Amino acid sequence: MKILLTGFEPFGESLFNPSQLLVNAYSPPALAEITISKQILPVDHDQAPKVLMTALQDHQPDAVLSFGLALGRAKISLEKVAINFKDYRIPDNTGITLQDQPIVVDGPAAYFSTLPIRDFLTKLNEADIPAEISLTAGSYLCNQVFYSMMHHIAIKDLPMRAGFVHLPALPKQAAQSAKPVPSMSLEQDLQGLQIMIDALMEPAIGQNLPAYP
């Protein structure tokens, strides 16, 4: 199985992004029957979707796990829905703020994750990793990338599963914040990522993943 992992560079007042550190730090166990590709996305309203689409074309994965930071959330958030809406609460790293705009003009209102997030949730909680299914990925670049990815897969009829996962802040981010901020360690993020990948590799799930010719 070929799996693409994506994360984001730091943005706003954060000097770190747990999604970037997670993707860069992950390496599959020895003898694992998977090929891992990685892509760090810019926090750029124009370039982030383009970089992701290029990665999909270059790597042709069977599954995509995209990650981002949700400052203030206390659990790993398995996103269920991407909406066709851009409304930035802060500028992106190019200084652009977008408000009340569709991601794809005349595109569907929403797409659902095609990852087995209910199974992810069960296995994460069994491992005592705080996790939840979220019904909003917000309206910033995380949602924009999530929606753009699902739209691209749909219109191209690509044989892959994909979805988005939000991560809590890192402890060092919480320590630097003037306000109380929930956090999760990189080690626990890595444990959670491995659990999700293992779930994708299970025969009952993996055998239903279409492969590229």
Residue-level pLDDT at 31: 76
The catalytic residue positions are 79, 142, 166
- In angstroms, rounded to a whole number, what is the distance separating the alpha carbons of residues 143 and 133? 15
DSSP assignment of 137-172 equals --SSHHHHHHHHHHHHHHHHT-S-EEEEEEEPBPHH
Residue-level pLDDT at 170: 96
- Cβ-contact 19, 167 below 8 angstroms: yes
| Residue 123 CA, distance from chain mean position | 18
Q: List the chain pLDDT tens, one digit each, 213 residues.
A: 999 999 999 998 888 899 999 999 999 988 778 999 999 999 999 999 999 999 999 999 999 999 999 999 999 999 999 999 999 999 999 999 999 999 999 999 999 999 999 999 999 999 999 999 999 999 999 999 999 999 999 999 999 999 999 999 999 999 988 889 999 999 999 999 999 999 999 864 444 444 433
Residue-level pLDDT at 177: 85
- What CATH number matches the domain at 2-206, 3.40.50.970, 3.40.630.20, 3.90.1170.50, 3.90.1150.10? 3.40.630.20
